[in-house]
Amino acid sequence: MTDLLSAVVIGLGKAGSRFDEEPGRTAPWSHTGAYLALADRFRIIGAADPDPANADRYRQRCADVPIYPDATALLAEARPDVVSICTPAGRHRADLEAALACPSVKAVWCEKPLATSFGDAEAMVSAASRRGVPMVVTYNRRWLPMWRRMRELIHNGTIGDLVCLRIAAPNRIYSKTSHALDLLRFLAGDPQSITSLALPQLEETGEPAVAAMFTFSSGAYGILQITGFRAQLVFEAEAIGGRGRLTVREDSSRLTIERFGKHPEYEGYQRLAAAGEGRYASLAQVSVFTAAAAELADLARNPGAPCTSDGASALATQGLIQAVAATAGYG
């Protein structure tokens, strides 16, 4: 037991624990679920949430874990090795500052986005860096095999030089579109220019809906396509290069490769033909939360360990979120 890392969870809503209550979940889909799945590496020693309903559900799941009304009381008593921050984004900075003030803390795992403003996100990353505490940020598609394979195929030239990358996702720039913008960076790098289009007819839960186009230093361009409201869940990508096309659809967990070949009817033209297709483990089958927690454990023992989605990367995505919103007229 002494080799286990002690963990606490701040915020016991969906990402903190309650996503695992949803029917159809076949893999851990919360910070608590990941810690429990990695019982050979972690021991949960405390949790915090002022919501009585969340606290009650947590007691049913983790009867021996003490629950506190706020992060300050929790951290003062528990003195953990690692801290999960699963509160709303507007609270992340205050909760991180409380965690960094706790001398025992070796690593922090924060939900995305880092904050609701670039200034707060920048302050968070700077504070963690000064304290020497590594951060893992849950932009979860970076751990999913299907998206990692797409990135590999783009970078190894399977479709030639990238011409266009389209990411399609629902509305809500912080809750869902932020995943699409992080994926854009993950697949093609940081864009050089942004042209945004506000979609007020698709605003929901107080969050802007914004479509956008981007240019990259490679000469490629990108499209952020907003597909509709949150309930109509579409998440897919299409990459077109000089030699072919890649498509990924999360609903079918399929990645398709097509290559250009001679057109049999139109001389001087080429057309796409299937060159390969693979089905990958879906978000329901692979616990990206467990993968993130495993990296957190490594970072707590070795701050120089590899990290798939760290604070610096999340800060760059935060900057892109803010730039897309600002270009569309949202301050």
pLDDT digits (tens, 9 = 90+) for 9-40: 999 999 999 999 999 888 999 999 999 999 99
- What pLDDT does 277 receive? 84
- What pLDDT does 30 receive? 98
**Residue 284 to residue 200: CA distance in whole angstroms:** 31
- What pLDDT does 1 receive? 44
SS3 state at 306: coil
Q: Tell me the β-bridge partners of 219.
A: none
- The amino acid sitting at 230 is R
For the chain, residues with pLDDT lower than 50 are: 1
Asked whether residue 303 is domain-assigned, the answer is yes
| Same domain, yes or no: 22 and 42 | yes
Instruction: Domain count for the chain, please give it.
Output: 2
> 124 in the Ramachandran plot: left (φ > 0), alpha (ψ -120 to 50) or beta?
alpha
Q: Look at residues 36, 39, 41, 40 and name the one whose alpha carbon lies nearest to residue 9.
A: 36
> pTM value?
0.94
| Same domain, yes or no: 203 and 271 | yes
| Same domain, yes or no: 170 and 43 | no
Cα dist. 56→48, 63, 289, 330 in Å? 12, 10, 23, 38
| Same domain, yes or no: 153 and 182 | yes
